[in-house]
Amino acid sequence: MRWEAVIGIEVHVQLKTVSKMFTRVAYRYGAPPNTLTNPVVLGLPGTLPVLNRAAVERAIQVGLILGCEIPPECKWDRKNYFYPDMSKNYQISQYDQPLCVGGSVEIELPGPSRNVMGEHRRIQLTRIHLEEDVAKSTHFGDYSLIDFNRAGCPLIEIVSEPEIHSAEEAAAYLNALRMNLSFAGISDCDMEKGQLRCDANISIRPEGSNELFKRTEVKNLNSVSGVRAALEFERRRQREVVEAGGTVAQETRHWNELQGYSVALRSKEEAHDYRYFPDPDLMPVRIGNDLLEQLRKNLPEMPFDKQRRYIDEYGLPFTVTSVICRNRGLSLFFEEALAHCERPRELANFVVNDLRREMAAAGIDSPSESRISARQLAALVRLIDEGTISKQSGQDVFTEIFESGGDVAEIIDEKGLRQSTDSAEIELICKTVIDDHAKPAAQFRSGKEGAINFLKGQVMRLTRGKADPAKVDQILRSLLRQ
């Protein structure tokens, strides 16, 4: 029998705000332990939460990006459970009125080869809600230490429908989410820093069946490769259980990334009695159309849409678009340059090859951190296109401007890189070369086509590369034919 996996994924993403979800103390990654707290974060007696407007707006933007419905009203609930990483022993979350409902994530499966676009699919979402993050606990032998820096940081929980059918799709789903959310500046989605965390529900069923089997929840998936490995492990484990005549137990399993296996966690009878109720300390939020429109306006065109447009409108190849469209900085740079010079292919090549190479060498993430501007790149491409400088010189100029800034035209003049277009001068040089090298000239005349290359090389040498090679070729031929 062939078995199919049925996977639903819950992703928690930290939103990039300056202050925390329910109090105005700073949050940033990597600060010394317990230096980002205040009475509210520590859940001291008497403290009260105050909502962070930016967090709500960011979360709504996620909903808009993913095509969710944004209900006109949402509210805040307490999820009650005891754990040392939670200062109040309840988490402020959203239960029955989340910020976003429905929506979907467009994913891209691997193509048949690297330069061919793979299949795109949509994974439907159940909901997205906003909540507060918990503290970080580190477990030692017989004690645990708790650092509340991360506690109370705004977190969205994105819940997918169980529409994912393989570890591969799960990985594609996570990659697509990361791509979209980091592109829109919602979160950096760095899994190593815990900015994006993932739990998965998985069951298996005979392929083509609609039956629902008992599912397990796999926790502690801290990387895309971890997700892939854990789901593959769990699919195989469940199949073995079922094929041996057993039934899969509904349980929570903890993935051990280092060892590559998961273990079941014991769960108590009352473990899931969260006693949700509306948080009396917080007022509901009403989201009007004005706010929605304003937030929508501030959203960039999303990567897959951009990619389709680049391919359709500019005729760019898939590989080039998948590089530029996944990087906000590169695409902004490219589009600005394009506004000054309508040569998409040439610009794209500069961005994908030269710009990225120089950025990598300089160790920067965004073109805005370099000294080159999109306008200068546009000018450069235009000059190459007009034949004013050679492509080779163009690349040198690019490197120069990337490092030190400056104006394309000025640098070209300074360095004397302008291609010579004075035909008379080139003709004179060509004549000299033909006179000085009678043997290759004769060979060409007697039908040995290749001999002209030697003569061309000599002309280019004498013009120090400023002559347009096409023009040199044309003049040499006409002189030799005389």
Partner 1 sequence: MSELYYESAYSLSSRLRAGEISSEAVTEAVIQRYHEVESRIRAYLSVDESDALAQARASDRRRAGGEALGPLDGIPVSLKDIIAVAGQPLTCASKILESFVSPYDATVTRRLKEAGSVIWGRLNMDEFAMGSSTENSAFQTTRNPWDTTRVPGGSSGGSAASVAAGESVLALGSDTGGSIRQPAAHCGVVGLKPTYGLVSRYGLVAFASSLDQIGPVGRSVEDVAMLLQVIAGHDPLDSTSFQTSIPDFLESLRGESDPWKLGVPKEYLGEGLDGQVRESVQSAIQFYADDVGCEIREISLPLTDLAVPVYYIIATAEASSNLARYDGVRYGYRSENVNDHLDLYFRSRGEGFGAEVKRRIILGTYALSSGYYDAYYLRAQKVRTLIRKDFLDAFASVDAIISPVAPTPAFVIGERLSDPLSMYLSDIYTLSVNLSGLPAISIPGGFSREGLPIGIQLIGKPFDESRLLAMAYRFEQDHPYSRMRPGI
Partner 2 sequence: MAEGTPIDIEYVARLARISLSPQEKETFRQQLGEILEYFERIAAVDIRGIEPTAHAFPLYNVWGEDIAEEGFDVAQALSNAPDSRQDQFNVPKVLEDS
By rule CB under 5 A, what string of x and - marks binding of each residue 382-401 to Zn ion?
--------------------
Of 433, 420, 424, nearest to 469 by C-alpha is: 420
143 binds partner 2 (CB under 8 A): yes
- Interatomic CA distance for residues 170 and 369, integer angstroms: 34
Kindly state the DSSP code that residue 282 receives in the 8-state scheme.
S
Rule CB under 8 A: say whether 292 interacts with partner 2: no
The candidate with the shortest Cα–Cα distance to 58, out of 105, 103, 12, 16, is 16
**Considering only residues 144, 298, 368, 432, which one is a binding residue for partner 1 as defined by CB under 8 A?**
144
x/- track of binding to partner 2 for residues 66-95 (CB under 8 A):
-------x-x------xxx-----------
Q: Tell me phi and psi for residue 112, to 5 degrees.
A: -60, -30
Angle between helices 423-436 and 469-481 (to 10 degrees): 60
Between CA 465 and CA 415 the distance in angstroms is: 12
3-state secondary structure of 94: coil
Extract the tokens encoding 318. 């898939």
Angle at Cα 462 formed by Cα 459 and Cα 468, nearest 5°?
Answer: 55
Give the interface size with partner 1 as a residue count (CB under 8 A): 30
48 binds partner 2 (CB under 8 A): no
Q: Which is nearer to Zn ion, 95 or 314 (CB)?
A: 95
The reply on whether position 111 binds partner 2 by CB under 8 A is: no
* 220 burial level (CB within 10 Å; 0-12, 13-18, 19+): middle
49 binds, among partner 1, partner 2, Zn ion, none (CB under 5 to 8 A by kind): partner 1
Instruction: Write the interaction track for partner 1 spanning residues 78-97; mark x where CB under 8 A is met and - where it is not.
Output: x-x-x-x--xxxx-------
Which one of Zn ion, partner 2, partner 1, none interacts with residue 285, CB within 5 to 8 A by kind?
Answer: partner 2
Among 69, 190, 247, 277, binds partner 1 (CB under 8 A): 277
Cα 162 from Cα 195, distance rounded (Å): 23
Q: Are 27 and 224 in contact (CB under 8 A)?
A: no
Name the one residue in this structure whose structure tokens are 């296109």: 385
Q: Is 431 in the site for partner 2 (CB under 8 A)?
A: no
Contact status: 302 vs partner 1 (CB under 8 A) = no
Closest CA to 177 of 193, 196, 162, 163: 196
Q: How far is the CB of 42 from partner 2 (least distance, A)?
A: 6
d(CA 54, CA 235): 40
CA distance 92 to 318: 44
Residue 404 binds which of partner 2, Zn ion, partner 1, none (CB < 5-8 A, kind-dependent): none
Region of 1-9, 53-61, 223-231, 359-367 interacting with partner 2 (CB under 8 A): 53-61
**Four-residue CA torsion sign, 7, 12, 15, 16:** negative
Q: Which residues inside 269-288 make contact with partner 2, applying CB under 8 A?
A: 269-271, 273, 275, 278, 280, 282-286
CB of 281 to partner 2, least distance (A): 10
Between CA 336 and CA 378 the distance in angstroms is 9
Q: Is residue 157 near Zn ion by the rule CB under 5 A?
A: yes
Q: How many CB atoms lie within 10 A of CB 406?
A: 15
- 261/254 Cα distance (integer angstroms): 8
State the minimum distance, in angstroms, from the CB of residue 365 to partner 1: 37
Task: Give the chain's radius of gyration (CA, Å).
Answer: 31
User: What whole-number distance in Å separates Cα of residue 383 and Cα of residue 419?
Assistant: 10
283 near partner 1, judged by CB under 8 A: yes
Shortest separation between residue 210's beta carbon and partner 1, angstroms: 29
User: Of residues 55, 59, 105, 379, which one binds partner 2 by CB under 8 A?
Assistant: 55
Q: Which does 157 bind (CB under 5 to 8 A by kind): partner 2, Zn ion, partner 1, none?
A: Zn ion
Instruction: Answer yes or no: are the C-beta atoms of 158 and 131 closer than 8 Å.
Output: no
Of 12, 122, 165, 254, which one interacts with partner 2 (CB under 8 A)? 254
C-alpha–C-alpha distance, residues 106 and 183, integer Å: 14
Q: What is the smallest separation between the CB atom of 90 and partner 1, expressed in angstroms?
A: 5
Q: Please identify, among the stretches 24-32, 91-99, 101-109, 206-214, the one whose residues bind partner 2 according to the rule CB under 8 A.
A: 24-32
Q: Is the CB of 219 or the CB of 371 nearer to Zn ion?
A: 219
Does 132 help bind Zn ion (rule: CB under 5 A)?
Answer: no
Sheet of 277-278: strand order equals 90-93, 77-80, 277-278
Residue 280 interacts with partner 1 (CB under 8 A)? yes
Binding flag, residue 50, partner 1 (CB under 8 A): yes
Give the footprint of partner 2 on this chain (CB under 8 A). 17-19, 24-27, 32-39, 41-42, 50-56, 73, 75, 82-84, 137-139, 141-148, 252, 254, 265-271, 273, 275, 278, 280, 282-286
Give the footprint of partner 1 on this chain (CB under 8 A). 39, 42-51, 78, 80, 82, 84, 87-90, 144, 146, 272-273, 275-277, 280-283
